[in-house]
Amino acid sequence: MVCCTVCIAVKHMSCDGVYYIPNIAKDLLKRQDNYKTKTSLEKVKDALQNLKSKMRDDMEQLSNQRDSILDEIEKYKKDLIRKVEELAKASIKEVQEKYKNIFEGINACSKNIGHILEDADKGLDKLKHSTYKTEAQSFVDMKKGENQVAVGNDCINRSISRQMEALEFESCKTLKSHLLEVHSL
| pLDDT tens digits, one per residue of 92-131 | 999 999 999 999 988 998 899 999 999 898 888 887 876 6
When divided into structural domains, the chain yields a total of 1
What is the residue range of 60's domain?
20-162
In a domain, 6, yes or no: no
In a domain, 67, yes or no: yes
In a domain, 36, yes or no: yes
Instruction: Tell me how far apart the alpha carbons of residues 99 and 96 are, in angstroms, rounded to a whole number.
Output: 5
pLDDT band at 142 (very low <50, low <70, confident <90, very high): confident
Residues near 95 by beta carbon (within 8 Å), at least 6 away in sequence:
167, 169
Q: Which region holds residue 31: left if phi is over 0, alpha if psi is between -120 and 50, else beta?
A: beta
Residue 27 pLDDT more than 80?
no
Residue range 153-162, pLDDT digits in tens: 888 888 888 8
In a domain, 56, yes or no: yes
In a domain, 89, yes or no: yes
pLDDT confidence of residue 130: 67
pLDDT confidence of residue 48: 97
In a domain, 9, yes or no: no
Q: Name the pTM for this structure.
A: 0.58
In a domain, 2, yes or no: no
In a domain, 70, yes or no: yes
Mean pLDDT (the chain, rounded): 87
